[in-house]
Amino acid sequence: MYNSKVDMTTVRNCDSGPHSTVSAVTLTPATTRAGQETWTDLVEHHSLACQMENPTLIVSNPPHEDIDPALAAPCFGLSPAEVRMKANYPIPEVWLTDGEGANVGPTADILRTAGLNIVSVPGQDLAEIPQQTMVKSFAFTDAGLTLNLEDSQVDLSHDEKLIAVFCQPRAAAGESSGVSANPLTEGLRQRRSGVFMARDSLMGFGAGPRASLSGGEAESAESPFFDIYVPGESPSARPRRVSLVQDQVDFSGLGDLKLPRAGDNMVMFVAEFEDKFSEARVDRRLVGMQPRSRAMVSKRTPISGERKGFSFATAALSQLLESLSPELKAINQFDLASRLAYLTDK
């Protein structure tokens, strides 16, 4: 076990070290002097509290390039091997946050120098993202896309700069898909042919027998969804979030492209959206997402605090989210991941 702790005084003072572009983070023995603030303390202080009205969140923005895990390790209180494992997680998540006067700016610099792709986000930005507004039906038009909600309508034009997040949990994505799940940038390269590739795979053209893009017959506990984040009227205005949830939307708007299976129709809609909205960015990092689960404990041990930080399904993350907004208290992992993906794509 990498039995180390972060000397936060060094982080705050930004003393120069072997890497001249950023401050050095020194390691201290497990038995440190009185008053030494450890990573475990940092997690406890920040997650429990309301010390800051708008803390800064350091959010991972995978994928990461070649990283220097040894340089980043002290920032997390992890070993280099554990940092590498952490960096392999393909879903955006909260890594660090500030509190009680601590400044995460120098730490963020260290992580970036170590090759980790991160975004610093005001906590209030996460709290202000609205809940999903469900789309009941839709229609692709010559001008764009019409989304019919419960009591209103949203019209999107083809040239709008939108951010959309496609979440297809692992049970829904399956492993026998006719077309492999695209990474974040794959949709950009295949935009012009995405609909035709999807249609050919679903209808049985091309190599191999007809295959389902949505995977096997097993249903996921969480229905796949496609969040469209529509910019507000001003840069500072919060976005509107309209969502197509697979088991709640009428896919008749696909017309001749509509297929018998809801999962296949969901994939077809996303391909059609990418093809028609050339200025939109579709984030596919949540395709194949598997929720994390952890044993429930009444009190985190120092080791669990150091190792997990604010990862999904930790008590520290739950407490942090509740301190940002009571509405975030019961948020599920897929909903949170969509919000974080949007914030890293802005």
State whether the Cα torsion 232-270-120-331 is positive or negative: positive
More confident residue, 240 or 12: 240
Q: Mean pLDDT for the chain?
A: 76
pLDDT (average), residues 156-167:
97
Cα gap 254→86, rounded to integer Å: 40
Quick one: what percent of the chain has pLDDT higher than 90? 56
Pairing status of strand 163-168 against strand 281-287:
parallel
CA atoms within 13 A on the CB side of 18: 5
Secondary element (H or E) of residue 95: strand 94-97
The residue among 305, 325, 309 whose CA lies nearest residue 122 is: 325
Cα gap 228→162, rounded to integer Å: 7
47 exposed, middle or buried (CB, 10 Å; 0-12, 13-18, 19+)?
buried
Cα gap 246→226, rounded to integer Å: 8
CA atoms within 13 A on the CB side of 16: 2
pLDDT band at 199 (very low <50, low <70, confident <90, very high): low
- pLDDT at position 128: 95
Neighbours of 223 (CB within 10 A): 19
24-73 pLDDT, tens digit per residue, is 333 333 333 333 334 444 444 444 444 456 899 999 999 998 999 999 99
83-135 pLDDT, tens digit per residue, is 999 999 999 999 999 865 568 899 999 999 999 999 999 999 999 999 999 99
Cα gap 188→319, rounded to integer Å: 37
CA torsion, ordered 272, 274, 277, 281, to nearest 10 deg? 150
- pLDDT at position 204: 47
